[in-house]
Amino acid sequence: MRNIFFALSFLIVISSCNNVNSAKQLVETVNKTDSTTIKKIFDTALTNGQSYQWLEVLSNDIGGRLSGSAEAQQAVEWGEKLMTDLNFDKVWLQPVMVPHWARGEKEVAYFTSNNEKFDVAICALGGSVPTSKDGVLGEVIEVQGLEEAEQLGEKLRGKIVFFNRPFDDTLIHTFRAYGGCVDQRGGGARVVGKFGALGAIVRSMTHSIDDFPHTGAMGYGDIPENEKIPTAAISTKAANLLSEKLKENPSLKFYFKQSCETLPDAPSFNVIGEITGSEFPEKYITVGGHLDSWDLGDGAHDDGAGIVQSMEVLRLLKLNNIQPKHTIRAVLFMNEENGLRGGRKYAEEAKNNNENHIAALESDSGGFTPRGFTFDANSENYDLFMSWKPLFAPYGLHDIEKGGSGADIGPLKSETISLFGYRPDSQRYFDYHHAATDTFDKVNKRELELGAASMTSLVYLLDTYLN
Amino acid sequence: MRNIFFALSFLIVISSCNNVNSAKQLVETVNKTDSTTIKKIFDTALTNGQSYQWLEVLSNDIGGRLSGSAEAQQAVEWGEKLMTDLNFDKVWLQPVMVPHWARGEKEVAYFTSNNEKFDVAICALGGSVPTSKDGVLGEVIEVQGLEEAEQLGEKLRGKIVFFNRPFDDTLIHTFRAYGGCVDQRGGGARVVGKFGALGAIVRSMTHSIDDFPHTGAMGYGDIPENEKIPTAAISTKAANLLSEKLKENPSLKFYFKQSCETLPDAPSFNVIGEITGSEFPEKYITVGGHLDSWDLGDGAHDDGAGIVQSMEVLRLLKLNNIQPKHTIRAVLFMNEENGLRGGRKYAEEAKNNNENHIAALESDSGGFTPRGFTFDANSENYDLFMSWKPLFAPYGLHDIEKGGSGADIGPLKSETISLFGYRPDSQRYFDYHHAATDTFDKVNKRELELGAASMTSLVYLLDTYLN
């Protein structure tokens, strides 16, 4: 099977060969060179990697770095200095204005039922308006999703709406379970605000049953100011308790208070470093993650991992004396979490500058053991990409298939670019995602380094075989 | 490819078919039935699993359970009660005498160099003799392995030998790195005792650079009593420090004290539960792990995970109304860590009772995300087992290949039995293995449950297709 795939991917080369045997020989030679190079990349990543040490600084010394915060600015300066110290050919900051939402004081929430008070763990969702200073108190209506809420319509007036559809545990890939629930977080408040609901409480986006609420972005769309109601995530343990108690007492009262606010947009930056291509300097391969994170944890997995892996890709190329033909860029995108301004700005500037971006790779699924890559690309490259499967198999990457890439590189999409998403094992990701538990100690050094090596190997192959 | 493999595995069935089309049809029907059953197994494991809750009790309420300890006996009683409560067709205890080694007081170790004292973290290796009450003090000779120690010979007299060969980080599968180092732990003291060394200090068997020493079994073979010297594992951080300081000052002095002892063999048990086969009750498929653990942590990954997964296999079969044709046994083996008496006893009794064991599966590589199975079997079943790859692929198990199985089921090996080892992701295993860090909080619920489902699916297929 390997030879068939390789033959497909080297049609041009092979067509100049005199006979089938010499074509085969050529294919095997190229294959062996690639295997050897990839082995070197993995060896250096695992014995002389820097990504874990960098992540320790980003996570523990800087910490959570929400767009517009002082920590986000520190992260920008840290990234710029680090890539400068690594002697990349160019390092610069690309200015971008970002939303600036701040959580304010720690949220308070509880409910009372039959004279018993239950404190519950919540956190404001990113972009939410605050409650009044006295908080919000009301009866609760539990729903399983936006559609049910829409159908209840006016019945929601004066109520707190509790979106409680859980993750589908039977889905093996946890991102599918997330995809099946996250509309409640993103749109819950928007949908029920127009019916006069007082607030929206959303079950945390996780499989794990624990007491950590998971924040994340929400949006009001274009609804009028007076319909914007406060919204918060509730921990899964508290959500289960609330649901249980609601069955016993549907008129129990829920209270919550949050003091978050949206400040004026703030100046920030994408941080960019590049190795200039030796043959096609005007053609770009971008590898990136997002530098901003939520504020509850230190953003080690989301997306400190992607940030340090992206810089490590360029470092590992240099360390292995791989001089890329194309210009390779590491981009630390700002504001993926609550605006995507960095991703949009990067694509906009690429267009303004007539840059020819041939491929991009994003790591934004945590720093776990590699399982593969998904790609969103022109069908003419399908066989080429699939032909690389045998090169990745020895490192445990078997899932090389069509799929999404990443939010930050999405705006680069065109007829010609090949977009890739790095796909590590997904089982633990939503234990930590957007919660206080997303901290450096949850990252395993080897898993992170194997990811960086996998990404470097893909960039090496893209540089070698794309034109 | 799938059809070819399936065709191979159903030669007998197919040969009775009238033509190729009907054979193909049959193969596809069977394949679909298997896919559907396996999907049901995974669904129930992930939505209605019990393994994680059981592991919490075993880890947190009972804890570390070294052979011969009171905790090991508690674990026996817990396992017996649990399987009885699950209404397995038979549940019983199989008596076995086990070694009884006890750690005694917490070990003490430090070294002094240029009047500076460095405390270091060590733990006695299982089976080691104690030091004298005053401890052992001596100069240190660092070696990279048994061979180097043998060559030094008489130069080791009066010295403490420091075995410091580290894991090879370039090996992707961490068990290979372990395999490349563990001879130092198992045989270090035995080899250098005969040259009059005072003690053997062995670098902990882990990739991780931290301050947790990792214990594990060692053996003196048949050397005379007076050549048996005390031996301990040292944390990797301390090993690196000691090695560094030895370069500055080769005559620095190392001190350690440990009060471990080997008590008389103690009575214990393998715990066995079974579902009696409907067609071939006299033919057995065994699934197991080991109930004993080291004493420093609570043995959640090693091998609490394998224990709860093995019992969950039988529960998931029952829950899905799968009535096995063969008798399926869950065996909680005693004393894998420092004697293998349970595994040997089980095989011995199987032989005494003329039991026909057709297959066995062991889970003893931690409760991490499934990657596959290795098998040690008669070549005539190779194509059958490989034909199952497409059935496991949707669940991320791609590594189905020849290899080892497990220590406890090893003694069952014969011409006819097929032995399997469950292979989860290996990256984090040696962070915790035999150390104080092997605790319940390191286990992810879904990863553990996916493992139980994978094992149940394999047992289902073995029961369906083996005779």
In the numeric block, the tokens 């553990």 are attached to B448
Using only the alpha carbons of chain B, give its radius of gyration: 24
Q: Decide if pLDDT at B7 tops 60.
A: no
What is the pLDDT, as a whole number, of residue A27?
58
pLDDT at B17 over 80: no
Question: Shortest CB distance from A396 goes to which of B371, B431, B444?
Answer: B371
CATH 3.40.630.10, chain B: domain bounds = 2-100+264-465
Are the Cβ atoms of A447 and B428 closer than 8 angstroms? yes
Of B31, B96, B70, nearest to B271 by C-alpha is B96
| Confidence band, pLDDT 50/70/90 cuts, at residue B105 | very high
B395 touches chain A (CB under 8 A): yes
Q: How far apart are CA A28 and CA A17, in angstroms?
A: 14
- Run of H or E residues at A357: strand A356-362
* CA separation for the pair B174, B168 (Å, rounded): 9
- Supply the pLDDT for residue A410: 98
Distance from CA of A428 to the nearest CA of B (A): 7
Q: Give tens-digit pLDDT for A135-179.
A: 999 999 999 999 999 999 999 999 999 999 999 999 999 999 999
pLDDT exceeds 70 at position B12:
no
> How far is A143 from A159, CA to CA, in rounded Å?
12
**Which residues, listed in sequence order, are joined to residue A374 by a DSSP beta bridge?**
A401, A421
Mind telling me how many Å the CA of A174 is from chain B's nearest CA? 10
Are residues A42 and B172, on separate chains, in Cβ contact within 8 Å? yes
Q: What percent of chain A has pLDDT over 90?
A: 92
DSSP letters spanning A61-103: II----TTSHHHHHHHHHHHHHHHHTT-SEEEEEEEEEEEEE-
pLDDT band at residue B378 under the 50/70/90 scheme:
confident
- Residue-wise burial string across B425-463, b where 16 or more C-beta atoms lie within 10 A, e elsewhere: bbbbbbbbbbbbbbbbebbbbbbbbbbbbbbbbbbbbbb
Q: What is the pLDDT of residues A211-233, one digit of tens each?
A: 999 999 999 999 999 999 999 99
Nearest residue of chain B to residue A392 (CA atoms): B172
A237/B contact by beta carbon, under 8 A: no
Query: What number is the average pLDDT over the span B65-81?
Result: 98
Residue B398 touches chain A, beta carbons under 8 Å: yes
Give the pLDDT of residue B15.
37
Q: What are B255's two structure tokens?
A: 């001190």
Q: Does A43 touch chain B (CB under 8 A)?
A: yes
Query: Is it the case that residue A4 has pLDDT exceeding 50?
Result: no
Alpha-carbon dihedral sign for residues B206, B208, B209, B213: negative
Quick: pLDDT tens for B153-163: 999 999 999 99
Q: Are B288 and B310 in contact (CB under 8 A)?
A: yes
pLDDT for A43 equals 98
Pairing between β-strand B122-124 and β-strand B231-234 as defined by DSSP bridges: antiparallel
Q: Count CB-CB contacts under 10 A for residue B98.
A: 24
Q: Average model confidence (pLDDT) for chain B? A: 94
CATH 3.40.630.10 assigned to domain A2-100+264-465? The reply is yes
Mean pLDDT of A417-428: 98
Report how far residue A139's alpha carbon sits from residue A160's, in angstroms, rounded to the nearest whole number. 6
Q: Supply the pLDDT for residue B23.
A: 53
Q: How many alpha carbons fall within 13 Å on the CB side of residue B295?
A: 22
Residue B166 Cα distances to A156, A163, B235, angstroms: 64, 52, 11
ipTM surpasses 0.90: yes
Mean pLDDT of B233-251: 98
Enumerate the β-bridge partners of residue B424: B370
Global confidence as pTM: 0.94
Mean pLDDT within A62-91: 98
Residue A424 has phi, psi (to 5 degrees) of -80, 175
- Among chain B residues, CA nearest to A42: B170
Asked if the Cβ–Cβ distance from A371 to B396 is below 8 Å, we say yes
State the pLDDT at residue B380.
87
Closest chain B residue by Cα to residue A431: B444
Give CA angle at A113 (A112, A116), nearest 5°.
70
CA B388 – CA B34 distance, rounded (Å): 10
Helix B305-319 to helix B70-85 angle (10° resolution) is 10
Q: Quote the DSSP letter at residue A206.
A: -
Shortest alpha-carbon distance between residue B96 and chain A (Å): 39
Of B422, B425, B426, which is closest to residue B454 (Cα–Cα)?
A: B422
Count CB-CB contacts under 10 A for residue A244.
Answer: 9
Given a contact cutoff of 8 angstroms between Cβ atoms, the answer to whether A331 and A286 are in contact is: yes
What is the pairing mode between strands A122-124 and A231-234?
antiparallel
> For residue A22, what pLDDT band results from cuts at 50, 70 and 90?
low
Scan for tokens 């006996």, then name that residue. B73
State the average pLDDT over residues B256-267.
98
CB-CB contact of A170 with B42 (8 Å): yes
Size of the A and B interface in Cβ pairs below 8 Å: 60
Chain A partners within 8 Å of B424 (Cβ) = none
The mean per-residue pLDDT over the stretch A44-50 comes to: 98
> Is A207 an interface residue toward B (CB < 8 Å)?
yes
Q: What is the pLDDT of residue A15?
A: 37
Q: What are the tens digits of pLDDT across the range A342-354?
A: 999 999 999 999 9
- Indicate yes or no: CB of A425 within 8 angstroms of CB of B428: no
Q: Chain A residues with CB inside 8 Å of B43's CB? A: 170
How far apart are alpha carbons A66 and A217 in whole angstroms?
12
**Mutation to test the A interface, candidates B401, B446, B448, B449, most A Cβ within 10 Å:** B446
CB contact under 8 A, A170 and B47: yes
- pLDDT at B8 (0 to 100): 35
Q: Are the CB atoms for B94 and B207 separated by under 8 Å?
A: no
Give me chain A's average pLDDT, please: 94
User: What percent of chain B has a predicted confidence (pLDDT) above 90?
Assistant: 92
User: Does A427 sit within 8 Å of B447, measured CB to CB?
Assistant: yes
Describe the crossing of helices A2-9 and A20-48 by its angle, rounded to 10 degrees. 100
Under a CB-based contact definition with an 8 Å cutoff, are residues A196 and A166 in contact?
no
Say if residue B321's pLDDT is above 90: yes
Is B109 in contact with B118 (CB distance < 8 Å)? no
A385 vs A420, A458, B53, B355, CA distance in Å? 10, 9, 43, 51
pLDDT of the residue at A463: 98
User: What is residue B264's predicted lDDT score, i.e. its pLDDT?
Assistant: 98
**H/E segment holding residue A374:** strand A370-376
Q: What percent of chain A has pLDDT over 70?
A: 94
- Residue numbers in A near B47 (CB within 8 A): 169-170
Name the segment(s) of chain A with CATH classification 3.50.30.30: 104-259
Is residue B22 predicted with pLDDT exceeding 70? Answer: no
Distance (Å, whole) CA A295 – CA A104: 11
Sorting pLDDT into bands at 50, 70 and 90, what band is B16?
Answer: very low
> CB distance from A44 to chain B under 8 Å?
no
Dihedral of the alpha carbons of B202, B204, B205, B210, in degrees to the nearest 10: -160
CB B96 within 8 A of CB B270: yes
Name the pLDDT band for B6 (thresholds 50, 70, 90). very low
According to the model, what pLDDT value does residue A431 have?
Answer: 98
Among candidate residues A429, A434, A185, the one with its CA nearest the CA of residue A295: A434
**pLDDT band at residue B128, thresholds of 50, 70 and 90?**
very high
pLDDT of A7 above 50 = no
Which pLDDT score is estimated for A378?
A: 81
Nearest to B178 by CA among B430, B440, B462: B430
> DSSP class of residue B158?
T
User: Of A369, A396, A427, which is closest to B446 when you measure between CB atoms?
Assistant: A427
Among 3.50.30.30, 2.40.160.10, 3.30.390.50, 1.10.3080.10, what is the CATH number of B104-259? 3.50.30.30
Q: Which residue stretches of B202-285 are H helix?
A: 236-248
- Peptide linkage before A303 cis (omega within 30 of 0): yes
Confidence at A25, pLDDT banded by 50, 70, 90: low
Res A12 pLDDT > 80:
no
Q: Please list every residue in chain A whose beta carbon sits closer than 8 Å to the beta carbon of residue B169.
A: 46-47, 446
